[in-house]
Amino acid sequence: MTSEYSSRIQLQVINLKCATAHKYQIPMDIQIVLPPHLSIPDHHLCSLVANLLDNAIEASRKIEDPKIVIEMKMVKDYLSLTIRNKMDPSMQDKALTIRTTKADKKQHGLGRQIIDDIVRRYNGISTREIKDGWYIASVMLELGAE
């Protein structure tokens, strides 16, 4: 697979999620600086980004003044991905532990497990925190780890 093809697939996933956010009037700020080729297969990177953005969009739909910020960059031999979204202040106590807010718990809430599996596969680190009204999900994946 060429790096141009890989970049297009990753861009398509982000564009699709941006279109979804736009549909719900959620502004997005995207800052991506990556080399043309990453050693992480597209299906893993796309799954990671899609699940994190799905969670951010779902949470953003529930508040009055939503915003999502995406940052992807290289930090030494790691891919760094951070997705921040403004959050409902009433959810701050539950946001870091709740699996899903949807009624059908058996069919939803798998995104975090998928994210955690990808992080483990690439000797990565995943953190979730709440700071100044923002839910911040950060992932660092070691390139060449698999």
Taking residue 100's Cβ as centre, other Cβ atoms within 10 Å add up to 16
Is 139:125 a contact under the CB 8 Å cutoff? yes
The pLDDT, as a whole number, for residue 1 is: 37
Residue type, 35: P
What is the pLDDT averaged over residues 65-75?
96
pLDDT of 27 above 90: yes
Structural domains present in the chain: 3-142 (3.30.565.10)
User: In the structure encoding, which two tokens stand for residue 1, read together?
Assistant: 């697979």
Query: pLDDT digits over 35-55, tens only?
Result: 878 889 989 999 999 999 999
Query: pLDDT digits over 108-128, tens only?
Result: 568 889 999 999 999 999 999
69 or 12, which is more confident: 69
Q: E strands, the chain, where?
A: 28-33, 68-75, 78-86, 125-131, 134-142
The pLDDT, as a whole number, for residue 91 is: 81
pLDDT of 56 above 80: yes
